[in-house]
Structure 1
Amino acid sequence: MSTVIPGDELPGEPVPSGEAAPVGASPGDVPTGGAPAPVPPGAPVRLYPLTYLDEGDEVTVGRPDIDSYAVLPADGAALLRRLGDGVPPAQAAAWYRQTYGEPVDIDDFVDTLRELDFVRETGDDAEPAPRPVRWRALGAAVFSPVGAICLAALLTAWVVAMVRSPALVPTYHNLFFTRYMTVLELVTFVCQFPLILLHEAAHALAGRRLGLRSRLSIGRRLYYVVFQTTMDGLVSVPRRKRYVPMLAGILTDLAVLAALTLGAAATEGPDGTPSTTGRILLALAYMTLLRVSWQLWFYLETDLYYVVVTVLDCVDLQATARDVLRQRFNRILGRPHTVPDETRWHPRDLSVSRWYSWLLLVGWTVSIGTLLAGVLPVAVRVLSTVLGRLVTSHTHGTAGLLDSVGFLVINIAQLAVIAHLVRRERHARRTRPSTVPS
C-alpha cells in the first residue's frame, strides 16, 4: 500500500509500481471504513517502527514490513516524529502551532496514520518480526560490478558477431523462419512468455538486492496473461539507488537479445546460414528488440518514463505534460483553452512539462515509426502470404491451405474474444442498477 499525505499545497512522490492514493488534511479526503475513536488528550500515540527518507521539502515515511508508505511535507514529518517520541497528541499539536504558526487537526492526522497502519492499536504490543528478504544474495551477485562487466562483455561479443555476419543483424525478415504462418505465430507467442517473465523477474530481483519486499505476480489484461512486479518500497530508498531496479528489465532484455543472437551464430553453417534453431533464435531476438524499443513510448509510462521522472525529481509529469500539450494545441488551433491549474499540478511538474511535453511528442513519433517500420511490414507480409494461399490454393497444396486457415482461425478467435468481452462489459454497465440516495 502506498499513500500520499499532501500538506502546504505540496503533492506527494509517485510510486513506480502502483498508483498513490491521496489522503488530504480534511476528514472528507480520508478514506474511512468507520470513524476511529478520538485520541485521549493525555495519552501518547503508540507507533510502529517507521523509516524516514528526507528529500528536501518532502519526507517519505513508511513501514517496510507491510509496504505502507506516505510522502509528507517536512512539517508533517516533524509532527509525526514528535508523536513517535511519545509526545501526547495535544502537546504535539500545541508544539506544531507554536513552531509553524498554524493550527493542525491532530485527531484527523492520527486517523490518517491509522489508515496507513502506522498506529499500534490497543493490545498490539508485539514487535513485528523482521522477515528475511529471499533471493537478496542472488540479486546482489547479479546486479554487481562483476555482473556489469559480464553484461558489457556479452554486448561486445554481440556487436562483434553482427559485424562479422550481417545476417545476424535483427530485422523483421528474421520472423519468417518457416513458411507456415500458424507455426510462426504459435512459436513466437509461446516463447515470449518466459522472456517477459525474465524481464519482470529482473525488476523484482534488483529490488530484493536492496532489501525490498518486491513481488512478482501474474495478472490479466483482457484475456492476455501478464506478469507484474510490485516494488512499493522503492520510494523508501535514496533516489540514486532506484535506477538499477528501474532499468533491470531493459538490461536483461539487452542481455537476452545478445545471447539469442550469439546462440544463432553458433548454429551457422559453412555458408553463414543459421540452422532452423538459429532462425528461431533470431526471430525471438527481433521480438526482444521490439520490446526494448517500446520502452521509448513514454506515454505508456514504461520503465524509462519512471527513470526520467526520478532524474527530474517530478511527481506526476505525464499527466501534467499532457495537460500543457493540450493547452498548447488549443492555442495554436484557436480553440477555447484554460491555463493549467497550478494548484492541481506540482510546481516542479509544471516547470519540467514546458519542455518534456515536446519530448512526449517525440515518444509518440518513435512509436508510430516503430509501428510503420517494424510491425506493419510483418503484418502485410503475413496477410499477403495467407490470402495468396487461399486464392491460389491449388498451387500450394493441402498443407499450405490448412496453415492459412489455421492462422485465420487463431486471429479471428482472438478478435471474437475481445468483442465478446467488450459487449459483456457494456451490457453489465447498462443493466447495473443505479443508486438513488434517499
Structure 2
Amino acid sequence: MPENATHPDDAALRFHALVFHDEADGEVTVGRVDTGSFVVLPADGAALLRRLVGGAPPAEAARWYAETYGEPVDVVDFAADLAELGFVRGEGEAAATPAPLRWTRLARVLFSPGAAVAFVALLACWAWAMAVDPDLVPGYRHLFFTDYLAVVVVTMYLGQLPLILLHEAAHALAGRRLGLPSTLSIGRRLHFVVFQTTLNGLVGVPRRKRFVPLLAGLFTDLAVMAALTLFASWARHQGPALATAAGVALGLVYLTLLRVVWQFWFFLQTDVYHLIVTVLGCVDLHTTARQVLANRVAAALGRPRPHDPASWHPRDRAVARWYSVLVVAGYAFMVTVLVTTLLPAAVHATGTVVLRLVDGGQGPGLLVDSLLFLLFSVGEVALAGFLYLRERRRARRA
C-alpha cells in the first residue's frame, strides 16, 4: 500500500453497522446489509478496517498496521474509500437504523424443514401421476387447449404473470428469512411486465446460507408445476368446464418448464449462474469469461489482446479458463432447446392459421381468431421494435 499518512484531526471515525464475512480464499467481504454496499478486501485491509471500527484513531491504526504487516499504509486514502462506499458516518449523521422486516414469520414457515418434506412429497406425487398417465408429461401440445389461438396467447400470457411473481417473491421471502431487507418490485422491459427481486446483503452472509435464497425461485417453479399437474389430473375428468381449466393448467406447466430450463442458460446470468458463482467463490465470473473468450478470438486472429488478465480476480481467472468453454456450449444448448420446444409450437400455430386462411370455410369465428393471432404475433414484434427505437432516441438526446 502507499506510504503512511494520518487523518487530519486524528479523530476516530464513526461507522454504520458493518458485517464481516471471511471467504475461503482468505479475503473478507465487508459491507452494509441495509444498503447492499459491499466490498471484498484482502485480509490485511479487513484487519485495518476492524481496527478503525473498533475505535482506533487513523494514526494509531496506521502505526499498528505498519508494525503488524511491516509496511506503511495511506490511512487517509483508505478512509476516503470507506466513506465513498457509505461505511463512514458523516458529521452529525446518526447510525442507520434497520427498518423492521415484514413477512419474516411466513418466510420461516415456507422455508422450514416441514415445508421441505411437503415439497419432496409433492414432487413424488407429481412423478407418480406422470408415470401413471404419460399424457400429463409436459409438451408443446398442451399449449393448444382450445382451437382458438388468440385465446391461447392471451390466456398463457396472463396466466404466467402470477407464476413469475411467485418465483420472484420466493427469492425475496428466502432473503427475509435470513434477516435481509430483500425487495420485490414491478417494472417493464420494452412492453413486457417484469418482476425483479433485490437481495441486499446476501453476499454478507455465510456461503452455505446463500443457497436457499438463490434456488428459492427454482424450487417454487417445480412446486407450481407439480401442483398444476395434479390439479389437471383430477380436473380433466370432472366435466367440460373443469376439463378446460385442466387444459389451461397443463399449458402453464409447459411454459413454466421452459422457464426452468431457461435458468440453466447460466451464461445469461440466471439463478443457476449466481449459484455457480457462489459455489466456486467467484467475484465477476461472467465478465471475466467474456473477456477470456475475446482474448482467445483475438489471439486466433493474430490481433492484440483487448483485455488485460491482470485486471481479473485470481479466482475468476482460474475458473474462467474452463467456464468460458461452457459459455460457448451453453449457447449451443440454448439454440437446441429453442428448436426442440418453441419451434414446434410456432410451426403448429402458423400451419393452423395458414390452413384456415387458405380454406376459408371453417366459420367466421375461427377466421377472426386467426387474424387476431396474426395481429398479436406481428404486433408484438412491431411494438417491441418501436419502443426500443424510441428509448434509443431518448437516450441519445439525454
Q: Pick one of 373, 376, 392 that aligns with 2:340.
A: 373
Q: Does 1:91 align with 2:60?
A: yes
Q: Pick one of 123, 126, 132 that aligns with 2:92.
A: 123
Which segments of 5 or more consecutive residues in structure 1 lack a partner in the other structure?
A: 1-7, 9-24, 26-37, 433-438
Q: Pick one of 390, 393, 398 that aligns with 1:427.
A: 393
For residues 343 and 257 of structure 1, what CA distance do their matches in structure 2 show? Answer: 46
For residues 165 and 363 of structure 1, what CA distance do their matches in structure 2 show? Answer: 32
For residues 67 and 428 of structure 1, what CA distance do their matches in structure 2 show? Answer: 30
Q: Determine if contact 2:214/2:275 at 8 Å carries over to the other structure.
A: yes
Q: Determine if contact 1:323/1:340 at 8 Å carries over to the other structure.
A: yes
Alpha-carbon distance, 1:340 to partner: 5.8
Q: Counterpart in 2 of 1:12?
A: none
Q: Counterpart in 2 of 1:283?
A: 251
For residues 81 and 406 of structure 1, what CA distance do their matches in structure 2 show? Answer: 65
1:343 counterpart SS class: helix
Q: Counterpart in 2 of 1:383?
A: 350
Note the aligned Cα RMSD (angstroms): 2.4
Q: Determine if contact 1:51/1:61 at 8 Å carries over to the other structure.
A: yes
| Structure-1-length-normalised TM-score | 0.84
With 348-357 and 90-99 compared, the bigger mean Cα shift is at 90-99
Alpha-carbon distance, 1:102 to partner: 3.3
1:154 counterpart SS class: helix
Q: Counterpart in 2 of 1:404?
A: 370
Alpha-carbon distance, 1:429 to partner: 5.3
Q: Determine if contact 2:34/2:200 at 8 Å carries over to the other structure.
A: no
1:416 counterpart SS class: helix
Q: Determine if contact 2:235/2:243 at 8 Å carries over to the other structure.
A: yes
Which segments of 5 or more consecutive residues in structure 2 lack a partner in the other structure?
A: none
For residues 225 and 293 of structure 1, what CA distance do their matches in structure 2 show? Answer: 20
Q: Which amino acid aligns with 2:362?
A: H
For residues 69 and 261 of structure 2, what CA distance do their matches in structure 1 show? Answer: 49
Structure-to-structure mapping, 1:247-266, within 5 angstroms: 247-266=215-234
Q: Which amino acid aligns with 1:85?
A: G
With 276-285 and 355-364 compared, the bigger mean Cα shift is at 355-364
1:232 counterpart SS class: coil
Q: Pick one of 324, 346, 352 that aligns with 2:292.
A: 324
Q: Pick one of 325, 339, 342 that aligns with 1:358.
A: 325
Q: Pick one of 212, 224, 227 that aligns with 2:192.
A: 224
Structure-to-structure mapping, 1:74-113, within 5 angstroms: 74-113=43-82
With 341-350 and 178-187 compared, the bigger mean Cα shift is at 341-350
Identical residues among aligned pairs (%): 52
Q: Which amino acid aligns with 2:270?
A: T
For residues 299 and 308 of structure 1, what CA distance do their matches in structure 2 show? Answer: 11
Structure-to-structure mapping, 1:134-283, within 5 angstroms: 134-269=102-237, 275-283=243-251
| Structure-2-length-normalised TM-score | 0.92
For residues 304 and 382 of structure 2, what CA distance do their matches in structure 1 show? Answer: 41
Q: How many residues align?
A: 394
With 363-372 and 174-183 compared, the bigger mean Cα shift is at 363-372
* Bigger proportion of residues as helix: 2
